[in-house]
Structures are given as structure tokens and as C-alpha cells.
Amino acid sequence: MSIRIIVKEPDEVLHKRAKEVTKVTPNVQKLLDDMADTMYDAEGVGLAAPQVGILKRLIVIDCGDEQGLIKMINPEIISSEGEQFGPEGCLSIPGINGDVRRFETVTVKGLDREGKELIITGSGLLSRAFQHEIDHLDGVLFTDIAEKVYEIAADQTGPRRN
């Protein structure tokens, strides 16, 4: 497994729609593993393939909760409810946060790294992470939908989001 370079805004790849994965291959599995290593190395809670320069519909998420590491192929939100509003950041846009309105709970369907159907329902941070990463797959950044965008202090500690 390898640490990949995280693409930074304004790279065009961040604004393009990722392509659906039609076959789960060893290369797709390796990319998922590399993405997880890259996310952990950057102290993030989520990462989408476009953030490492690859236009495929792949995400990894680990919010530090009971779900643990989630690796998902072709994720899609199949149901949503409620609302939450709060700060988000992005590994591709360092030093910037924004206040974003999201669903409180989402159910996401996709494939696991073996190609088997995976359905996960998440609330709070997990819901926010799913929505943020799936937006990346559609070329949408949190700054495109934030109600307020602001710089964060360079010495601010804690995990950077998605």
C-alpha cells in the first residue's frame, strides 16, 4: 500500500464527475487500500478517488466510530432525513472551513472491496462524511455549497475533515 498525493483546489479533477466502477479488480482494491492509507496519513476522516487524481466512484471513510473503516465502490444515497448544520473542511482545500447544511441521517448503498452489496445508515459525522465524499464524486466541493466559508488558524489541532 502507498500514500498518494492529495490533489488540491483548484485542480480541475476536483470539479469533474467520476466514472462508475464496472468491475472490481485488484487495481481497484489496491486503490481503495492506498486511499485509506493516504486518508490516515493526512489525519482525515474521508477521502474520494478524485482527491488522489483518479476519476472513479470510490470513497473511504473512518469517523473513529463503531463502523470503523468503510471502503465503498459506487456509493449512492438511497434515503435521507433530518438536517444538520455545521463546519466542514477538506484535505483538498487546506486552511479553509465552511458551514454546510447536510442531512442528519443518510442510507448509502454501494459495493464493498470484494464487489458485494453494502448498505450503511449513518447519522451525525458519518452522514456528513458520506455526503461530502459523494459530492466529491460529482465534482462538488463543500465550498460550492457552504453558507459561510472562512480560514482556520494554522495552529488549530484535530482531524481535518474529508
What does the pLDDT look like over 42-69, one tens digit per residue?
A: 999 999 999 999 999 999 999 999 999 9
Question: What pLDDT was estimated at residue 155?
Answer: 57
Catalytic member of 88, 133, 147, 151: 133
Q: Kindly tell me if the per-residue pLDDT of 160 is higher than 50.
A: no
Contact 160, 94 (CB under 8 A): yes
Contact 161, 90 (CB under 8 A): yes
Mean pLDDT, range 67-94, rounded to an integer: 97
Q: Kindly tell me if the per-residue pLDDT of 156 is higher than 70.
A: no
Which DSSP state fits 50?
G
* Residue 14 binned pLDDT confidence (cut-offs 50, 70, 90): very high
Question: What pLDDT was estimated at residue 153?
Answer: 76
Of residues 21, 12, 52, 25, the one with CA closest to residue 36: 52
Q: List pLDDT tens digits, range 99-155.
A: 999 999 999 999 999 999 999 999 999 999 999 999 999 999 999 999 999 998 765
pTM (2 decimals)?
0.93
Q: What are phi and psi of 110, to 5 degrees?
A: -170, -155
CATH of domain 12-151: 3.90.45.10
Residue 8: how many CB atoms within 10 A of its CB? 13
Q: So where are the chain's domains?
A: 12-151
Question: Cα–Cα distance between 54 and 63 in angstroms, integer?
Answer: 23
Q: What are phi and psi of 133, to 5 degrees?
A: -70, -40
Concerning whether 133 is annotated as a catalytic residue, the answer is: yes
* Residue 162 binned pLDDT confidence (cut-offs 50, 70, 90): low
Q: Which residues carry a binding-site annotation for Fe cation?
A: 90, 132, 136
Q: What pairing do the DSSP bridges indicate for beta strands 117-123 and 70-81?
A: unpaired
